[in-house]
Structure formats: structure tokens, C-alpha cells
Structure 1
Amino acid sequence: MDMDKEEIDADKMSRFIRMNELRLVTEYNPTTAVGVLHSSLLLHLLLFTDKKSPEHPEQMRRYRAAAELFEGKILFILVDINLKSNEQVMAYFKLKKSQLPALAIFHTPDEKHDVLPLDEVSIERVKDFCNAFLQKMQKEEDKPEEKAFNEEL
């Protein structure tokens, strides 16, 4: 397809961008909740933030960039604290509005999770938080094998 010769339809392009953004970061609300809960990805990373804040567009740009690093491994979710229905999610992770923005990572099979209040959302902080949790999970998975190995000795 030769892009120089074809005109680009702005509506189609913005719809394409929106669809692909959703694939990287899913906004949590009553409509998407069922899909999120039944996702094939067992690790969920939630960003609790205020969509009305002036920092929101830049936070989302960085969060999306981090999501690309973990695509297919972790489901990145945006939780807007302005939605009344999201108060339950905040309460589950024992977060208060004064602690936001914050990240919460959640492993769905065993409900293990970790929370990190942030000064600002940065690609490095998100990446480090995810990697630390993944390493912790890996160590816990390795422990039963170590026990079985040691019992055989």
C-alpha cells in the first residue's frame, strides 16, 4: 500500500489509534469489568489516577509506553478515581485518594498483589515495579521444587 498516493481518512485513523490504545491500556468501568476479570492474562497492573488532572495525558503516554514492554504478559488497566463505581477497587487495595497516583499489581489465580504509591508515573517506575513482582512470583514458584529436591537428598 502506497501511503503517498492515498488520502488518509482522519476518522478511520483516530478510530484505529483508539482501538490500539485500548488494547494496551483498558479503562476499568462497569462496562469493561467483566472482560477484565475474564482476561486470559493472569497479571493485571492497575493505575489509579485522576483523569481530570492536568498531568493525566502525560501519565497515560508513559503508562502506555510501559504497557508495550509487557504486552501479552500483563494487562494494563486505568482506574479513574472520579468514577464512584471504582471506589470499591480502591478499597480492595486499601488506597486513599491522598496516595494517588498509585500502581497496584494483581495476580488473579491467588489474588497476590502489591501496591506502590507514586510521585509521578514514569516508564522506569512502572517497569521496575512489574519486574520486581514478577521476580517475587518466580521465586515463590521455585520454592516447592527446591523443597522436593531437598527432601530427595
Structure 2
Amino acid sequence: MWTPPPPPPPHLRPAPGVATDTEDSTEDPGAVWGPVWLTDVQAAVDFVAAAEVTLIGFFQDLEMPAVATFRGLAPDFQDVPFGMANDSEVLRHYNITGNAISLFRLVDNQQLNLEDQALAGLEPATLSRFIRTNNLRLVTEYNAMTVLGLFNTMIEIHLLLLMDKASPGFQENLATYQTAAKLYQGEILFVLVDSGQKDNGKVVSYFRLRESQLPALAIYRTLDDQWDTLPISRVDVEQVKEFCGGFLAGKLLREDGKSEDTSPKEEL
């Protein structure tokens, strides 16, 4: 569903000992399948800015077992660029004092770290879960892995599009939703909820919506559980702006603007 990020700038080169799969790949000759070696601060800054989510291994000790785990997992996340650095200036720039693996996401300008203690005996499954749990984008699909990241983000207001991914016109509506998301980057987190998935019925019921009212937008503030909903026929940028603007201004379409549901937020 997601468009892969563009290749890194030309001055970025593969990390030592990591080959690129340019000869064998027929789909994307410019793709980098291993971590990219970040030689200075500017290279690291450019790398982080080039994609919605990036991962950098800051390793002062390139022989530690976590390095092999990090390198080996890169091909499993072709939509998340992996980088490596051990230059002291680069580590200082990102406040790394030892060894760390950091996930950077543009949507809320966060740097999430796995540091020395967590890197000891690091298993691929542990690192994979760290990435999948915190992999928030301009539009993040709601699922069991991303829900924790959604409620750990600094962005308190979430806009949900509840729509069946198998419905006609879904891709067109998603593209419009992504366009609207760019207008609220850092202010409102845009979430996609596939209403065609049985497990997501709890989200629909949380917002007191019926299947006949879908697709719909639901806006939610984590600070006080205030929320509002708007059934729609299709996603329209101006309609999204009006709905979000009204909520931010304290105007609710519903009479009751606060949920009576006392279940943990993670259970949405």
C-alpha cells in the first residue's frame, strides 16, 4: 500500500561489509538492501529527512552481536531505510553516548532509542517488534502492532478514517486522505482503520457508529477522550479541514462530546 521512499542521496554509501542488490533486483535497480553508511552529521540529517520512518544503528563497537542482527534485518523492511554510523560527531548530534539503535519518524519528530542494555543479546524478533510497533507515518494503518505507538506519540489528536479496504474507490480515497494528512503533520495523527476486518469492529462500536454509517471520519483526543464522528460518502480535503478545524475550535457535531467507555486506550 505504501510507496517506498526514494533512494538515499548519492553521497550516502553502503555500510562496510554490506552489499547492495543492484545486479539481482529487477524491480528497483537503485534500491539499497543493506544499511547505508552515514559518514558525517549532514549525511545523517539528510538520511533522516528523506523518508517518513528511518532506522539508524549508532555503533561505537562494530563487532558487537547487535550489529549483525541489525544488518540482517534490513532486507525485511524495504520501506524503512536502515543507516549506520560510528563517527563521534554524528553520535553527539543525536545524543548517543554508547551504542544505540534509533528509530526516527517525521510525523511527530520523535527519536526512539534502543540503548546498550537493550542491545545486549538483541534478537531479530525484538528489533522487528520495535520497528513495527513504532512505525508511524503520515497515515498509519491501525493494527495490533501499531496501536501502542499510536498512543505513545506526542500527537494528542488522532483522525481515523474507518473504511473497508475492499470497497470500490478505496485507493482514490486513501490518496486524498494522505494529501489531507500533510496539512496537519505534527498536529493531528491520521489513522486508517479497515472496517472490513472483523477485529476492528470494536473501533467502530467505540465511536457508536453503525456499519450503515461507514465510511466515516472519527476524531479523538487522547488527553481527555473527547471525540466526534462524521459519516462521509468519500474523502474530501476541504471536508476534512472543516471537520478538523471545528474539533480544534471546540465545536462538536455530537451532543455528547466525551466517551463513556472506560476501557484502556490501547483497546480502541
Question: What residue identity is the alignment partner of 1:25?
Answer: V
Contact map agreement 1:50 1:101 (CA 8 A) in 2 = yes
- Secondary structure class of the residue paired with 1:30: coil
Distance 2:210 2:30 in 1: 43
For 1:11-22, what aligned pairs fall within 5 Å after superposition? 15=79
Question: What residue identity is the alignment partner of 1:9?
Answer: G
Cα gap change, 1:112 to 1:123, in 2 (>3 Å): same
Q: Which structure's relative contact order is higher, taking Cα pairs within 8 Å and 6+ residues apart? A: 1
Distance 2:200 2:158 in 1: 16
Which residue in the other structure is 2:234 paired with? 120
Residue 25 in 1 paired to residue 139 in 2? yes
Match of 1:109 among 200, 206, 223: 223
Distance 1:73 1:114 in 2: 17
Question: What residue identity is the alignment partner of 2:155?
Answer: L
Please identify the structure whose Cα radius of gyration is greater: 2
Unaligned runs of 5+ in 2: 1-8, 11-27, 34-50, 52-77, 82-104, 108-135, 252-268
Which residue in the other structure is 2:177 paired with? 63
Point out the structure with the larger helix share.
Answer: 1
Distance 1:88 1:34 in 2: 16
- Secondary structure class of the residue paired with 1:78: strand
Aligned CA-pair RMSD: 2.7
TM-score by length of 2: 0.45
Provide Cα deviations, 1:71-119, integer angstroms capped at 9, x if missing partner: 0000100000122221111111011111111000001111111100002
TM-score by length of 1: 0.77
Segments ≥4 residues shifted beyond 3 Å: 10-14, 19-22
Question: What residue identity is the alignment partner of 2:30?
Answer: D
- Secondary structure class of the residue paired with 1:127: helix
